[in-house]
Amino acid sequence: MAQHILRKDLKKDQIRESFVHGVESVASHQQILWVVIGAALVVALAVFGWSTYSRRQTTKAGAALDDAMKIFQARIHAPGEPAEPGEVAYVDEKNKYADAEKKFLEVANQYARTRPGQIARYYAALSEEHLKKFDDAEKNLKQLDSSGDESLTGLARFQLAWVYSQNNKGPQAVELYKQLADKPTTFVPKPLVLLTLADYYRKTDPAQASKLYNQVKQDFPDTPAAEKADEGLDLLNAKT
């Protein structure tokens, strides 16, 4: 009898302990749950805050980029010729591109993580090309190339190849053009790359240029690219 009571008490104790452990487990899981929820809320608020901040920065960067573009696209007028009211205009092209470069770099450096900031860096490089500051242009284009944005990467590499060709780095230019031809992008299609490479070869290797022009005509018939290839072949024939 005593043993029977002992077993019953033991069983009750086991049940009680299991219940207590169960309650503790639930409480523990609830604490973990609230920690997770709290962390998720913090992350959500941070993302919302960053998203709001990012949008504001992008808006500011876009406005600054527009101002820089007005300089880059400014009209060059004759000395003494009046500019239109509110028009941004220059008498000297060098001064125009020097001002544009400065403005674009300000936007690019201040808003580096925004899309307008990255576009500003691209146009800073274009301005530097006009000023024949090829080393500076190369630096900015390489920075864009490592941005991870495929559309900008293609444009940056295409422009970098041109910079190489102008800065006595022909082999690097050719290698980059070939890479772009193998992996064209929306903004840098294959016929454009082949035509540009053919134009480069027209001065250094006419036979290779002719081959590329004919490849464009064959691969892209009845297109503006094919017409440009015909023009290139005419220029080659005019030299012979």
The answer to whether the beta carbons of residues 115 and 134 sit under 8 Å apart is no
The answer to whether the beta carbons of residues 89 and 77 sit under 8 Å apart is yes
Dig out the tokens for 84 from the structure: 């239109």
At 91, the amino acid letter reads V
Ranking 1-5, 85-89, 171-175, 181-185 by mean pLDDT, the lowest is 1-5
Dig out the tokens for 137 from the structure: 């242009």
The answer to whether the beta carbons of residues 194 and 181 sit under 8 Å apart is yes
pLDDT, position 145: 87
pLDDT tens-digit readout, 186-240: 889 999 999 999 999 998 999 999 999 999 999 999 999 999 999 999 999 887 6
pLDDT tens-digit readout, 151-169: 789 999 999 999 999 999 9
Cα angle for residues 34, 40, 42 (degrees, 5° grid): 105
Average pLDDT over residues 172-185: 95
Q: How far apart are CA 120 and CA 104, in angstroms?
A: 5
Average pLDDT over residues 57-76: 92
Kindly give the pairing relationship between strand 75-76 and strand 89-90.
parallel
Question: Residue 151's closest CA among 182, 178, 188?
Answer: 188
Beta bridge partners of 89: 75
Q: How far apart are CA 159 and CA 125, in angstroms?
A: 9
Q: How far apart are CA 177 and CA 169, in angstroms?
A: 13
| Domain layout of the chain by residue ranges | 85-173, 189-240
pLDDT tens-digit readout, 113-143: 888 999 999 999 999 999 999 999 999 999 9
Query: Which of 41-50, 149-158, 166-175 tops mean pLDDT?
Result: 166-175
